Chain A
Amino acid sequence: MSEVVLSVAGLEKSYDDVIAVDGLDFEIEKGECFGLLGPNGAGKSTTLAMLEGMEEPTAGSVRYYGAPLPSDYQTRVGIQFQATALQDFLTPFDNLKLFSSFYDDPIPMDQLIEQFRLKDFLHRDSRRLSGGQRQRLLLALALVHNPEIVFLDEPTTGLDPRSRRDLWDVVSDLKADGRTLILTTHYMEEAEVLCDELVILSHGKTLLQGTPEQLITDAGVSDLDTLFLSLTGETLVKTQEVIE
Chain B
Amino acid sequence: MIWNTLLLSLRAILRNLMRSFLTILGIVIGVAAVITMVTLGNGATRAVSDQIASMGANQLMVVPGQMMGPGSEGAQSFKIADVNAIRSQITSARAVAPVVNKSETVIFQARNWSTSIVGTSNDYFLVGGWTLAGGRTFSELEERAGRAVCVIGETVREKLFQRENPVGGEIRIRTFSCQVIGLLKAKGQAAMGQDQDDTVIMPLRTVQRRITGTKDIKRIVVSIKDGASIDSAKSRLVQLLRERRRLGPSEDDDFRVMDTRQLAETVTGTTKILTMLLGAVAAVSLLVGGIGIMNIMLVSVTERTREIGTRLAIGALENEVLLQFLIEAVMLSGLGGLIGILLGNGASVALSGVMGVPYVFDSSINLMAFFFSAFIGVLFGFFPARRAARLNPIDALRYE
Chains A and B come from one and the same complex: no
